[in-house]
Amino acid sequence: MLPPPADVAAAFDRIFDELLKATGRTVLAAGSGLGLSIVIGTSVAFLFSQSSLIRTAFYPWAILLQTVPIVALAPIVIILFDRGLLSIIVISTTLGLFPVITSTTTGLLQTDKGLQELFQLHSATRWQTFFKLQLPSSLPYLINGVRIAGGACIVGAIVGEFFVGSSQPGLGALIQRKHGALKTDELYAVVLVSTTLGASLFGIVTGLGELFLNRVMGMSLNTNKSASATLD
* Domains of the chain by residue range: 5-223
In this predicted structure, the answer to whether residue 166 has a pLDDT above a threshold of 50 is yes
Where does the pLDDT of residue 229 fall: very low under 50, low under 70, confident under 90, or very high at 90 and above?
A: very low
Give the tens place of pLDDT for each residue, 189-205: 999 999 999 999 999 99
CA separation (Å) from 123 to 74, 109, 117, 119, 134?
47, 20, 10, 6, 16
* Domain 5-223 top-level CATH class: mainly alpha
- The count of C-alpha atoms lying within 13 angstroms of the C-alpha of 3, restricted to the half-sphere facing its C-beta, is 18
Rg (CA), the chain: 20
- Average pLDDT, whole number, for the chain? 87
The lowest-confidence range among 44-48, 102-106, 113-117, 175-179 is 113-117
Q: Is the dihedral of CA 162, 165, 170, 175 positive or negative?
A: positive
- The count of C-alpha atoms lying within 13 angstroms of the C-alpha of 88, restricted to the half-sphere facing its C-beta, is 30
**pLDDT value at residue 226:** 38
In this predicted structure, the answer to whether residue 144 has a pLDDT above a threshold of 90 is yes
Where does the pLDDT of residue 222 fall: very low under 50, low under 70, confident under 90, or very high at 90 and above?
A: low
DSSP assigned state of 165: -
The C-alpha atoms of residue 59 and residue 145 are separated, in whole angstroms, by 16
Whether the Cβ atoms of residue 15 and residue 187 lie closer than 8 Å to each other: no
DSSP of 121-162: HTT--HHHHIIIIIHHHTHHHHHHHHHHHHHHHHHHHHHHHH
pTM to 2 decimal places: 0.86
The lowest-confidence range among 87-96, 113-122, 179-188 is 113-122
**pLDDT value at residue 143:** 93
The C-alpha atoms of residue 153 and residue 29 are separated, in whole angstroms, by 8
The C-alpha atoms of residue 33 and residue 170 are separated, in whole angstroms, by 15
CA separation (Å) from 126 to 33, 70, 133, 212?
29, 37, 10, 26
